[in-house]
């Protein structure tokens, strides 16, 4: 079992082991795996919320995107960080969730994550269909990046069985690409991605644009967005690229009191510079981006704040 798979398993076990939460004054928040950016981001949110919501005490636990959604649904956690496409899957009961999750509400989108599909420049890959019979690499099965890679290939008419696929971590993926044991690499992360920068330092690469399959991707998950990877994100990237993306967002139990979640949402909007010290993309976050429709119903408390600033959102 790889370290990342172990981490995800531990996170899920931790979620299921948490005692059922009490009222809004005692909040249990699930964040991310050790070493990731979600734990320090959760620490910032804890500090801000405890200062803003009278009597609120926040306990922060490690977690992972899918485990956090399950933890909230089962009443083991009150709030957490999540990936919007996984939360949308939970709403509909799509795999890896075995039933619709009705107790998970959206609070605020925080920053985008970019799906990046990289090919070796000298591999003769001019279109995705050229990958048939070739070796590619992506993350471990069940990882968000792996799910998007599978959807990306499916949207182009390819299945895993049409290729040779390695399901490994970033480091192993980069090494396979450097050694020529794989010709393409699908990953999902903030940008610039250290893994891509590492690979680019050793090999000439190209990043494939993704506009042609957006409609097909939406059929697979309605929470996908088409977002811009700005030119200059990577060396030699001389133009903007349109890629599939989604958002890291805050989710909460729909049972949390409206007034508490209202203040929590307002506090996020008022403290973007503080939050940007651990997630730089939050620096430019505005209420309209926080309230983006990602296919997940909003908590009534969050909706109350957005209405206050002139934005209507769906709560059912």
| pLDDT tens digits along 97-116 | 989 999 999 999 999 989 99
Q: Across all residues in the chain, what is the average pLDDT?
A: 90
- The β-bridge relationship of strands 184-189 and 205-207 is unpaired
CATH top-level class of 3-111+247-308: alpha beta
Q: What is the DSSP secondary structure assignment for residue 133, as one 8-state letter? A: T
For the chain, give every domain's residue range: 3-111+247-308, 113-245
The DSSP annotation for 180-243 comes to TS-SEEEEEESSS-HHHHHHHTTS-EEE---GGGHHHHHHH-TT-EEEEE-TTSSTT--S-EEE
Band of pLDDT at residue 150, cut at 50, 70 and 90? very high
Which of 42-56, 133-147, 239-253 bottoms out in mean pLDDT, i.e. has the lowest?
Answer: 133-147
Q: What is the pLDDT of residue 28?
A: 97
Alpha-carbon gap, residue 316 to 106, rounded angstroms: 11
Band of pLDDT at residue 94, cut at 50, 70 and 90? confident
| pLDDT tens digits along 295-308 | 899 999 999 999 99
What's the alpha-carbon Rg for the chain, to the nearest Å?
Answer: 20
Alpha-carbon gap, residue 9 to 125, rounded angstroms: 36
Alpha-carbon gap, residue 266 to 278, rounded angstroms: 19
Band of pLDDT at residue 33, cut at 50, 70 and 90? confident
Give pTM, 2 decimals: 0.75
| pLDDT tens digits along 153-203 | 999 999 999 999 999 988 999 999 999 999 999 998 888 888 999 999 999
Task: Answer yes or no: same fold for 3-111+247-308 and 113-245.
Answer: yes
Domain 113-245 architecture? 3-Layer(aba) Sandwich (3.40)
Alpha-carbon gap, residue 77 to 131, rounded angstroms: 42
Closest C-alpha among 221, 277, 252 to residue 108: 252
Tell me the two tokens of residue 210.
């993704």
Band of pLDDT at residue 255, cut at 50, 70 and 90? very high
């Amino acid at each position: 079992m790889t370290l990342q798979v172990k981490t995800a398993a531990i996170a899920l076990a931790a979620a299921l082991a948490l005692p059922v939460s009490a009222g809004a004054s005692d909040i249990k928040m699930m964040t991310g795996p050790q070493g990731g950016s979600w734990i320090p981001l959760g620490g910032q949110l804890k500090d801000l919320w405890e200062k803003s919501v009278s009597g609120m005490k926040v306990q922060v636990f490690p977690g992972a995107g899918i485990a956090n959604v399950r933890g909230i649904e089962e009443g083991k956690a009150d709030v957490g960080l999540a990936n919007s496409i996984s939360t949308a899957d939970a709403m509909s009961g799509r795999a890896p969730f075995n039933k619709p999750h009705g107790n998970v509400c959206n609070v605020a989108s925080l920053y985008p994550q970019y799906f990046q599909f990289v090919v070796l420049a000298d591999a003769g890959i001019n279109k995705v269909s050229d990958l048939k019979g070739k070796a590619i690499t992506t993350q471990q099965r069940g990882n968000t990046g792996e799910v998007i890679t599978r959807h990306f290939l499916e949207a182009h008419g390819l299945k895993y069985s049409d290729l040779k696929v390695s399901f490994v971590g970033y480091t192993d993926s980069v090494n396979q690409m450097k050694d020529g044991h794989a010709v393409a690499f699908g990953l999902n992360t903030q940008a610039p991605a250290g893994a891509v920068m590492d690979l680019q330092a050793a090999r000439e690469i190209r990043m494939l644009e993704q506009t042609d399959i957006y409609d097909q991707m939406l059929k697979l998950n309605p929470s996908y967005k088409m977002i811009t990877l700005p030119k200059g994100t990577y060396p030699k990237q001389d133009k903007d690229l349109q890629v599939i993306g989604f958002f890291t967002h805050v989710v909460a139990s729909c049972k949390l009191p409206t007034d508490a979640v209202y203040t929590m949402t307002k506090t996020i909007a008022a403290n973007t510079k503080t939050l940007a010290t651990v997630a730089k993309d939050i620096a430019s976050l505005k209420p309209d981006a926080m309230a983006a429709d990602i296919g997940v119903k909003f908590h009534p408390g969050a909706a109350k704040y957005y209405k206050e600033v002139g934005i209507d959102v769906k709560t059912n």
